[in-house]
Every structure is written in C-alpha cells, then in structure tokens.
Chains A and B, each alone.
Chain A
C-alpha cells in the first residue's frame, strides 16, 4: 500500500457509498473511516490538503445521512487526541490505529446495548416488520432469537437498491422465520404485524427520523394499523446542525440504471431524457409523531428526546466543532 493506492481505495469506498451500494449507514461510515485511516497511514505531506478534500467528498456521498459525518467526526477527534506533540518511531501511525480501534469499539458497544434493550421489546408470537437493511436491527432480532423468543419477520425490499433482500438473507441465515415482500405489499401485510423495527440515517432536532426512502411509508401504514414503530439508532445519528435551524438535505438520484433494473430499462429507453425522467431520493423523513420510540444506547426514548441525550456525544452544543474544522486541525499535524 502507498499513498496513491490509499487515496484510490478511499475514492472507491466513497463512490460505493454514494450509490448506496454499502448496506447500512453505520457500515458505510465505518468503511469510510477505515479508508481514511489508510490515507493517514500512507500519505505524508499531502495530508493537510487531501484530508479536507476527501472528508468533504464523503460528506457529500450520503447527503442527509448523519452517520458518516458523526463517525468521521469521532475518528478525527480521537486522532487529534492521540497524536503526541513529539515522539519517536511512527507516532502518527499508532495514533491512527488507536483512534480507529476506539471508533470500532465504540460502535460495537453502542450496538451491544441497543440490541439488549431492543430485544426486550420482543414477545413470543410477535410478527415483526422491518425495512431495508440495518445491522443494528439485525442485532436486536438476533439477540431476541438467541434468548429463545419465538417470532417471525417480514422484510420489505426497499427499492431502488433493495437492501431488504440482504436483510432477509441475513435473518434467514440466523434461522429466523423470514418472509420477503415488495414495498407495495407493506399495507397488505401490516394487519399480520405486531411491531415494526427500522434503522435510521439521522435524527433531527425535533425527533424527525431520516431513514431509507420508504421508511416513512412503513411508519404511516403502521400508525394506521396501530402497530408500534421503533427506530433503532445510536445517538451518533443525531444531526446537531438541525438544532441551529439547518434542514436535513436529502440527495436525489437520477441515473436510470440505478432506478430501473437493467433488464427492464429497454422498455423506457427511447423516451429517457425525452419525456421520461427517473428520479428517487435515497432517504425520506418520518415525522416524530409516527415514531413510538427510538432505541438508543442510553435507553428507549421518545424521538423528541434524542436531542437531549445526544449532547453527550457531541459535547456541549455551543462548542460543537464541524467535521471540516476537525479535518483542518488533524491535517496540520501532518504538515
């Protein structure tokens, strides 16, 4: 590995993340910081310039998702903390290793607690509906199954990427009774469902939850059927900018080949750009009144309370340092 390869590897990861090819927002964020760690390990005097540029790219890769931002933030904070002012050998490399290990450790700890708390919500005979792919939700269900709770799961595909199929696969491999349905069948099956569990990309100041596009449809349909709707999300998904009035910007994809399956594209191809446009957001926003609770590492709380608990993660709100600023500071250590 050398610097150009590390940068190339990073760009590849960011590309995959921007096309939503990495399932699960925390997975995506962890892949980003792992690739970023390589850049810090193998690049030298270019780091100050590179870092700003590369971090900026990652933030644009999944607009609307807080996870990449928060995890990068945490990683850079730790690097800043661990790089000693002077030393022998490769002190910066060691600091990067330590920072990365801490981030992974932190995420694992959060998931462990959430899976424990979330799994207590499952009762024998429950029929769970989940949407898209979420490692955190997977862990909740895995823990409940290990505890011997007998339940079954419906998974909706979550087009256009259809991460729900991965989720169904993973649940099946855990030996959990799993049924895959298309997104349109959500209301048809909701009558059979007793609880819905989904993951999140971000939680805004008012408790609105940014999730994979279609999550808000599940929430609305659950509400109509009086089915409890739970969001499993670490507090690092809270979006601190929203406290200062910022809106969560949700990016939209327009590439037909990402929205229409390859083998069906020919049916509309003659009209693409001439009458037919394809379009989709990657995320949508679920209003807090549709969310029964957010399952966090600090407990099962109302969505409106996430703001309060998340302050611990980000430090005192007024002193919140943007991730771009951190990248600049870390870069200075390499100059």
Chain B
C-alpha cells in the first residue's frame, strides 16, 4: 500500500485491517498491536533521510490511529511511541528507528505488566464465596477474576453473551479453561440473575475525564441493574484507556457498525421497512461505578481527570495553547 509517496509494509496494513474488522479486538490488545505496527513500520523503512523517516512515521501513526474511532487506547499507544520518538531528538534514521522500536517494546511490556498488576489489585476487592458477573470480553477483567479464583475466592461467574458479537463466549471459555464455574446467560436475563450476584467486574474501552466509562454496548445496563440491586460495580482498566481528549471537552465518538452483525442480509432484504441500529459502545455514568481498578491503584472514577493531568498535562496544553488561559496547566513533567 502507498501513502503520501511511502510504501506501507504489508504487516502494518494487516494489523490495521485486523483492528478495523475486529479480528484483533479488546482495547488493550488493540493498543499493543498499534505499538507493534509502529515498530514494524520503523524497521521496514529503507533509506537514510531522517526527515523522510519522520514524515513517514507520522503518516503511519495517523493510518494506524484511524482504524477504529472509540477505543482511546489505540491513539494513546501511538502517542506513547511517537512522543518518545520526538523526545529522543534523533540525528539519524538509525537513532529514530531505535527510539520507535524501544518505545514500542516498552509500551507492550508496560501493558502486559499492567494486566497482571490490575489482576492482583482487583482480586483484593473480591471476597471468599463471591458470585460475580461480567459482560463482553476484557483481558483485564478476566485477569481480576482468574487471580481471585486462584486465591480460592470465586464461587461462580455469570457471563453475559454480549450480543451482537457474542464476546461472552470468549470470556466463558477463558474462565472455564482456568476451572472457574461459568453460567452463560443471555443479555436480557441480567436483572433476573443480578439478585444472586455479589460483584460485577467489567473492562473499559475508554474512560472520559469525568469518570464516565465507555465500554461494550450493554455495560451501562449492567451498571444500572447492579446499582438497583446494590451490587458493587468495578471497572478494570489500564490508565492508557483514559482519554486525554475528553479533558478538553471532546466527546467520545461511539462507533456504529453494520446491521448485518445483528441480523443476516436475507432478513434485511425481507424487511425493507426495518432499520437496524447497531451502536457498539455505551456510556456508563461515573455514579454507577464503585471503583476503577488501574495499574496505578484502585481509584474512584471521578479521579480520572487527575490521572490524565498527571500523565499528559503539559503535552496536552502544548497541543492546545489556547487552553492555557483556562488554568488547566499543571506542571508535573
């Protein structure tokens, strides 16, 4: 593939398409693949023109970033690598390449480590004999549940099927493989079974500055139903899923996917008067979330802005100099 006069390596195209078609899925996994794609792109660049390399990497970064709109983990992973490239002040292509490859490796290691750490912190919230519920498939949520199970705490897990794509089946399989007792239920049965549940653990695609959690469609229903039943609702999330854009007032775009993920094309043809609306994510308000379990600690969702300012403060404000006057500047870097 050609982009702005540069050849984009086939493996990078494959990763980008994999994310777009949901073959590569899960916000953490998408982020790691995004970082990997940048490293591959850097390694495959031939030539010694540094300026060309930087331009090329910028194009690749935009290309990878644009594969799916909602999960912020992907642009955050890309920024992680690109900001380190920038900060390294390279004087040759070799320097620059090394900076990208190292940053990519560092991000992937950080991310994998975060999954383990979140599992350990989250498991402390689970008590012996607990019956849990989860929605969709989340590597970090599974990490929390499996860690707690290995500590002998988890009695049973209700796993919601998660229409339309049935990612609940992946979660069910992963938990069963570890020996966890799984009850697979349709999404519609969430309120019926909530009475039997002690705690809910879900993952996140993006967390906004106000602590609102953007996650797979139906998450906010589980949260509301848990609230009604006074069941604790925990969100497991790496901090690179917090969205720096939202602190500047941007809304999180919600991806709407093809109707054929809900019904088959034959059904659509037979029912020309019926539309199918297939939003992929929904927003859970922070007041329904008891805590967010991050690799930097268990925090109330409302603390999201602080995490963001600590992580991105200066850079954010550089990108939007006009916002300096809003007094958002926090000098932490």
Contact = CB atoms under 8 A, between A and B. Distances in A.
Name the residue in A172, A184, A217, A275 with the highest tally of chain B Cβ atoms < 10 Å from its Cβ: A184
A152 B176 CA distance: 43
A214 B172 contact: no
Ranked 10 nearest A-B pairs via Cβ: A184-B218, A214-B188, A275-B176, A172-B273, A271-B176, A159-B186, A172-B274, A182-B163, A179-B275, A267-B169
B295 to A, nearest CB: 28
Contacts of B180: 275
A316 to B, nearest CB: 34
Name the residue in B177, B274, B282 with the highest tally of chain A Cβ atoms < 10 Å from its Cβ: B274
Nearest to A180: B276
Interface stretch (B10-18, B67-75, B99-107, B262-270): B262-270
B272 interface: yes
Interface in A169-220: 169, 171-173, 175-189, 212-214, 216-217, 220
Contacts of B276: 179-181
Contact of A181 (B162, B190, B277): B277
B206 to A, nearest CB: 15
Contacts of B161: 159, 259-260
B297 interface: no
A186 B263 CA distance: 17
A275 B273 contact: no
B228 A220 contact: yes
A193 B222 CA distance: 20
Given A160-B186, A217-B191, 7 more contacts: A178-B273, A187-B220, A188-B217, A213-B186, A217-B190, A217-B225, A276-B182
Main secondary structure of the interface of A (DSSP, over half): mixed
Contacts of A261: 166
Contact of A214 (B169, B189, B216, B263): B189
B189 A284 contact: yes
B185 interface: yes
A186 B186 contact: no
Interface in A256-284: 259-261, 264, 267-268, 271, 274-281, 284
Interface in A217-233: 217, 220-221, 224
B179 interface: yes
B224 interface: yes
A143 to B, nearest CB: 18
- Which of the four size classes fits the interface of chain B? 35 or more
Given A187-B282, A280-B189, A217 B221 contact: yes
B170 interface: yes
Given A180-B276, A184-B162, A267-B169, A169 B271 contact: yes
A221 B222 CA distance: 10
A221 B271 contact: no
Contact of A213 (B169, B170, B192): B192
B217 A184 contact: yes
B265 to A, nearest CB: 14
Given A172-B271, A180-B277, A185 B192 contact: no
A260 B184 contact: yes
A188 B184 contact: no
Contacts of B185: 259, 278-280
Contacts of A271: 172-173, 176-177, 182
A1 to B, nearest CB: 33
Given A187-B282, A279-B183, A279-B185, A169 B270 contact: yes
Given A179-B277, A213-B189, A217-B190, A279 B184 contact: yes
Contacts of A92: none
A224 to B, nearest CB: 6
Interface string B147-176: 000000000000001111010011011011
Nearest to B218: A184
Nearest to A278: B184
Contacts of B162: 184
B184 A182 contact: no
